[in-house]
Structure 1
Amino acid sequence: MSVVPIIGEGEFEIDDEEHDVLPESDEDNEEEEDPEAPQRMRTHIRRGDGHLYRDQTFFNGVAFKDRVLDYALRTRCNIRQYRYDKDKLGFECAGLGENDEACGWKIYASILPKDKIWRVRLFVDNHTCEVNGECEMVKVPVIARLFVNKIREEPAYYMPMKIEELIMANWSISVSRPQCQAGRNKALKWIKSEHDQQFARLKDYAAEIVESNPGSSVEVDTFQNDEGQDVFNRIYICFDALRNTWKESCRPLIGLDGCFLKERIKGQLLVALGRDANNAIYPIAWAVVKVENNENWQWFMQKLKVDLDLKDGDNYIAVSDRSPGLIRAIKIELPKMEHRKCVRHIYGNLKKKHGNKKQMKSYIWSVAWSYNEAKYQQNLDRLSCYDTGVYTDVMATNPRSWCRAFFKLGNYCEDVENNSTESFNSSINKARENHLCICSKQ
């Protein structure tokens, strides 16, 4: 059965000792981005230098044609193809010089009889034409190739008018709006085909993981649509080596978080991370789902509970931003697990409501770092005197769930924030831009 993609329809180490130092990576310390930087990144399209010479060799005709295209884009000459044989390709300049004389530039390559390598047999590097902003090589397929990666990243930005503008800005070549529309449509078809192929390979990918990593846990969850096709719903992966190492060598602590995938077909990545004896991040398991909701978090926690043999969660710690779906899943699947809140998320929510008050951050972190109940109460009293509104909102978050004074004693950790998962999510930014199979591998 074919697999139909539907995700998103339509479209490491922590310092535990210096608790007297406020964290420096909160939102109020972030530098403002240069508004022109994204524009520069968007307009840059990397191509080769287009260097050509006689007896130059290529692995195939496609590589030769691509080099000629690079030459045409660099020189802005009106290059066109005049020979299309399977074993021979020829290009010439269609430009005109003085008195409408034809330009003499020409290049021709063919396959060598013995080793099947393409070699440039003829190269007349003599332009007598004037550049006029035309290039017959820049047709619909070429426009699609030039912009397919950009369209994959930002389809809403690279519309026909923008593509037309960029071709003129980068190469001073004039193309029509309908050409750009057709090129964009062709690129979108290529991208859709890539996604369909990736989802169709998911079950093969899962089988390969189990074969190459015996004992690993992989589940591809699908459902049938009205046409009887298997439609992707979610996937869970836990490698046996990661699972066993976590059980034997890591702290009994699990950081849980979800982050968005950045590909054309949207979804969310759920991750479970451990912490080794050196407080370094250790990945345990992950899943890709359509959305971060009650059902998917419970499904993920069910798989994690079985794979890690967590039983009812006693003697284990979970640290997260405590999203409603995750809170519910842990209460159902692991009722005895201690579930800590992340103070960074608490502070971030308070800052949205109360603004960036100068002393609010230090008061909240003092409460979080309280090392006994007396100190905890003392810091709460100080917060109440500072601002009763902030105090009321802090109490509504149940500060005992993110204060060090009430954490379990043992070989866990004293972290009051979920920095490890946030750092992990940042470290896989590039992987999150790829297709599902490639993202899982990375």
Structure 2
Amino acid sequence: MPTPIPEMNSTKWKGLVIGEGQIFPNAVALRQALYRYMGAYSMGQRQDSELLIIRTLRSEHVHYAQDSLVVSHSRGSNLTSSIMIDSLRCNIDKNANEIRRDLYREYGVRLNYSQAYKGRERALREIHGRAQDSYMAIPWICERLIETDPNTSARWEGLDSNRFQRVFIAYGCSINGFLEGCRHILYIDGCHLSGPYKGTLISANAYDADNELFPLAYAIVSGETYDDWAWFLQNVKDITRSVETTIVSYQNNAIIGAVRTIFGGKRHAFCYRHVKENFSAHYLKINRGRGRVSGTSKDVALKMLDGIAYARIEDEYVAAMGKLRSFCPQLADWVDTQGDVDRWALSKFPFKQWDDITTNVAESFNAWILKERKHNVSVLIHEHMEKLAKKMVANKMAMENWTNGVGPNIESKL
């Protein structure tokens, strides 16, 4: 006996066209049903018509679904697009290779990577609508957010060729939470959007009372330029009112200039992790041409830099610098002259940082909204609002189990 061939998912479409008198709501629904019906059988002719009622049906077919669906993409592109739309509605994060594999396994349709990628892009546009429609909805969305919660700050600026220039969102719960319950340090960073609008999302985040991510505000802009950062930080300053706020960022000239303009330069700290990367690059530079550099020696140098960064008082700082100078004078000179040590070393920076001298929490925000960054702007705003609300509720429920007024994550460090 021959090995039986497993039934494919396409067989479920055999019942889409059932007989004379069947009515479809519109032409699009009729075409989609016919595409799928043809996919379930090897034969079936479709003629474009404005009539939506079936008058004659011949259901005799001589081939199996497996035979009919192993076809080239050009012959079944409409059917393939329809399948992709359904698949992405269930899992918007599917990549082109996953789509290729699923279409072949479940429907017998063979696509190359380029066909799958382009089909995915078309399907996403069908699901989310045109990018221009998303841009034009921004003013309405901002107005509705403010109507729902007057404490929310939702601002937009400019429309150019159906593309907004900037939009800024800070929900009322985030503003009040930052002012009343967070340490007044903001960690700012940016990340690229991968949806229909190829802009940049920049954000300002803090640590909550349990030392976890507390999103304050975000904006969608064209890029990380001085003008974009200055506009964003001015909005942040408006919602934080007269509170003295420290800004922590990586060493970017646009950010440095914008922070100096809006907040003044004194309360601007640099991310220590980026300083450490620059220090490591300088270590390799000064050891170039000396043969193979010992990984152990590099680790020793980085630990010495940690001692400099986390020294709490001047005497500890001087002792840590002395160790580094004895180990490598060139590295010590770099810290003194090129490292902007007063922007990241705890003992040198004149304002409180509570050991949080990196932008890790801002990068955690970027990872937290990874899925939303793939959508158009309207969907991104809606899904972020829903995700933030769920986070706030979960935090409130967890706080009810605290044994005292100090969060568990902070208490474990004490």
Q: Which amino acid aligns with 1:141?
A: N
Specify every segment of 5 or more residues in structure 2 that has no aligned partner in the other structure, as ranges: 1-7, 285-294, 385-414
Where does 1:188-267 land on structure 2 (aligned, <5 Å)? Answer: 190=126, 194-224=130-160, 231-267=163-199
Query: Residues 213 and 370 (structure 1 numbering): CA distance in 2 closer, same or farther, change over 3 Å?
Result: same
Where does 1:292-441 land on structure 2 (aligned, <5 Å)? Answer: 292-310=224-242, 315-335=244-264, 337-355=266-284, 357-395=298-336, 396-408=338-350, 413-441=354-382
1:278 aligns to what?
210
**Per-residue displacement from partner, 1:307-337 (whole Å, max 9, x unpaired)?**
1113xx7x43221113211211121221265
Q: Is the 8 A contact 1:80 1:135 kept in 2?
A: no
Residue 55 of structure 1: CA displacement?
11
Query: Residues 359 and 55 (structure 1 numbering): CA distance in 2 closer, same or farther, change over 3 Å?
Result: same
C-alpha separation in 2, matches of 1:182 and 1:358: 46
Per mean C-alpha deviation after superposition, the further-off stretch among 202-211 and 316-325 is: 316-325
C-alpha separation in 2, matches of 1:129 and 1:380: 73
Q: Is the 8 A contact 2:309 2:345 kept in 1?
A: yes
Query: Residues 141 and 392 (structure 1 numbering): CA distance in 2 closer, same or farther, change over 3 Å?
Result: farther
Give the secondary-structure state (helix, strand or coil) at the position aligned to 2:264.
Answer: coil
Q: Is the 8 A contact 1:354 1:390 kept in 2?
A: yes
Count of aligned positions: 352
Give the secondary-structure state (helix, strand or coil) at the position aligned to 2:156.
Answer: strand
**Per-residue displacement from partner, 1:112-151 (whole Å, max 9, x unpaired)?**
xxxxxxxxxxxxxxx599669448995332344455769x
C-alpha separation in 2, matches of 1:145 and 1:52: 12
C-alpha separation in 1, matches of 2:93 and 2:246: 38
Query: Residues 429 and 167 (structure 1 numbering): CA distance in 2 closer, same or farther, change over 3 Å?
Result: closer
2:406 aligns to what?
none
**Per-residue displacement from partner, 1:393-412 (whole Å, max 9, x unpaired)?**
333121221112234466x5
Q: Which amino acid aligns with 2:223?
A: V
Residue 194 of structure 1: CA displacement?
1.9
Query: Residues 350 and 54 (structure 1 numbering): CA distance in 2 closer, same or farther, change over 3 Å?
Result: same
Q: Which amino acid aligns with 1:347?
A: K
Residue 174 of structure 1: CA displacement?
6.8
C-alpha separation in 1, matches of 2:130 and 2:206: 34
Residue 359 of structure 1: CA displacement?
2.2
Select the residue among 142, 167, 170 that pairs with 2:79.
142
Q: Which amino acid aligns with 1:416?
A: I
Give the secondary-structure state (helix, strand or coil) at the position aligned to 1:368.
Answer: helix
C-alpha separation in 1, matches of 2:283 and 2:248: 25
Q: Is the 8 A contact 1:141 1:183 kept in 2?
A: no
Where does 1:76-225 land on structure 2 (aligned, <5 Å)? Answer: 78-80=42-44, 86-88=52-54, 103-104=61-62, 127=64, 133-134=70-71, 139-146=76-83, 172-173=108-109, 190=126, 194-224=130-160
Q: Which amino acid aligns with 2:148?
A: S
Residue 338 of structure 1: CA displacement?
1.6
**Per-residue displacement from partner, 1:136-188 (whole Å, max 9, x unpaired)?**
995332344455769x9899x89xxxx999977875557899x9999799669
**In the alignment, structure 1 residue 51 sits paired with structure 2 residue 24:** no
Aligned-pair Cα RMSD in Å:
4.7
TM-score (norm 2): 0.68
Query: Residues 136 and 331 (structure 1 numbering): CA distance in 2 closer, same or farther, change over 3 Å?
Result: closer
Query: Residues 181 and 284 (structure 1 numbering): CA distance in 2 closer, same or farther, change over 3 Å?
Result: closer
Q: Is the 8 A contact 2:128 2:376 kept in 1?
A: no
Q: Is the 8 A contact 1:236 1:288 kept in 2?
A: yes
C-alpha separation in 2, matches of 1:208 and 1:370: 49
Give the secondary-structure state (helix, strand or coil) at the position aligned to 1:51.
Answer: helix
Higher share in helix: 2
Residue 389 of structure 1: CA displacement?
3.8
Give the secondary-structure state (helix, strand or coil) at the position aligned to 1:417.
Answer: coil
Larger RCO: 1 or 2 (CA < 8 Å, sep 6+)? 1
Residue 353 of structure 1: CA displacement?
4.6
Query: Residues 366 and 164 (structure 1 numbering): CA distance in 2 closer, same or farther, change over 3 Å?
Result: closer
C-alpha separation in 2, matches of 1:182 and 1:103: 33
Query: Residues 86 and 277 (structure 1 numbering): CA distance in 2 closer, same or farther, change over 3 Å?
Result: same
Query: Residues 288 and 82 (structure 1 numbering): CA distance in 2 closer, same or farther, change over 3 Å?
Result: closer
Query: Residues 169 and 351 (structure 1 numbering): CA distance in 2 closer, same or farther, change over 3 Å?
Result: farther
Give the secondary-structure state (helix, strand or coil) at the position aligned to 1:282.
Answer: strand
Q: Is the 8 A contact 1:50 1:67 kept in 2?
A: no
Q: Which amino acid aligns with 2:42?
A: N
Give the secondary-structure state (helix, strand or coil) at the position aligned to 2:299.
Answer: coil
Query: Residues 431 and 79 (structure 1 numbering): CA distance in 2 closer, same or farther, change over 3 Å?
Result: farther
Query: Residues 146 and 89 (structure 1 numbering): CA distance in 2 closer, same or farther, change over 3 Å?
Result: farther
C-alpha separation in 2, matches of 1:365 and 1:426: 26
Q: Is the 8 A contact 2:136 2:162 kept in 1?
A: no
C-alpha separation in 2, matches of 1:189 and 1:371: 54
Q: Is the 8 A contact 1:206 1:219 kept in 2?
A: yes
Q: Is the 8 A contact 2:73 2:111 kept in 1?
A: no
C-alpha separation in 1, matches of 2:264 and 2:323: 34
Q: Which amino acid aligns with 2:357?
A: V
C-alpha separation in 2, matches of 1:439 and 1:128: 39
**Per-residue displacement from partner, 1:3-40 (whole Å, max 9, x unpaired)?**
xxxxxxxxxxxxxxxxxxxxxxxxxxxxxxxxxxxxxx
Q: Which amino acid aligns with 1:361?
A: L
TM-score (norm 1): 0.65
Query: Residues 238 and 392 (structure 1 numbering): CA distance in 2 closer, same or farther, change over 3 Å?
Result: same
